Amino acid sequence: MLTYTTLQDRTREFLAATGLTHSEFARVLPAFAAAYALRYPPDKTWEGKARQRQSGGGAKGVLSQLEDKLLFILVYQKTNPLQTMHGLQFDLSQPQTHYWIHRLLPVLRQALATLGMAPERDASRVATSPLMLEGAPAGAVDGTERRRQRPTDAAKQRAHYSGKKKAHTDKNVLLINEYTSKVIYLSPTVAGKTHDKKATDEADLLYPVNSTLDKDTGFQGYEPAGVLTHQPKKSPEARS
């Protein structure tokens, strides 16, 4: 079973599972604890009613420690597993896993916002975002896909089928600060078949003037005003 204790001395595995180093995890934990206490006060029950008995009684759950709660939701966000598979890692049933995911996701979002690490969701604010201006206004844009359940509707099946991934997927566009490697912007989720450039055009991102932007061939023709774009080209040897 995965716990913080079992992973705390395994640096490579910890990074692979959570996407964070131990020092980054330690930085997020206090903000996560504060957000959890604010959202779920200890003098209230899980249903939000006034507690009649002192907190802490009864059997201890597998996610009783805040470190394990944070680990649970970070692993879910990093690996995007089926809830049943995620539950197996933490000795939880699928309904329990579903409950904890929806209980902890808002807490994680609040903690990241408090630390100034949450990506912008409003494209019009990218140009003035501290995440964009940290270091220098230099970014890299890319599309990312993740598998999703196959839709039952035929039209949705076609829209979400990605020929590149050979699976039904959802897609988001990410903008990264090249100096800090922090995610500046996360686009709305679109169907996996949507072309990267089309999804970015629809997002209507605003960049700082004279900023630079790296892109790949999925963004061929994407030339925002006032931005110097750079698209790598394959060498003749690689094409042959």
Q: Which position has the higher pLDDT, 129 or 61?
A: 129
Q: What is the pTM of this model?
A: 0.77
pLDDT band at 147 (very low <50, low <70, confident <90, very high): confident
User: Residue 235: pLDDT band by 50, 70, 90 thresholds?
Assistant: low
**Mean pLDDT computed over 37-64:** 72
214 has a pLDDT exceeding 70:
yes
Higher pLDDT, 234 or 207: 207
| DSSP states along the chain | ---HHHHTT-HHHHHHHHSS-HHHHHHHHHHHHHHHHHHS-TTB-TTSPBPSS-TT-SPPPTT-SHHHHHHHHHHHHHH---HHHHHHHTT--HHHHHHHHHHHHHHHHHHHHHTT-SPB--GGGGGG-HHHHSSSSEEEEEEEEEE-PPPSSHHHHHHHEETTTTEEEEEEEEEEETTT--EEEEPPPEETTS-HHHHHHHHT----TTEEEE--GGGTT---TTEEEE-----HHHH-
Inform me whether the pLDDT recorded for 239 exceeds 90: no
Evaluate if residue 50 carries a pLDDT over 80: no
**Residue ranges of domains in the chain:** 4-50+61-114, 123-231
* pLDDT class of 72 with cuts at 50, 70, 90: very high
- Of the pLDDT bands very low, low, confident and very high (cuts 50, 70, 90), residue 33 is very high
pLDDT of residue 61: 67
Given a cut of 90, whether residue 240 has pLDDT beyond it is no
229 vs 50, residue with greater confidence: 229
Please say if the pLDDT value at position 145 is more than 70.
yes
> Could you report the per-residue pLDDT of 222-232, keeping only the tens digit for each?
999 999 999 88
Whether 166 shows a pLDDT value over 60: the answer reads yes
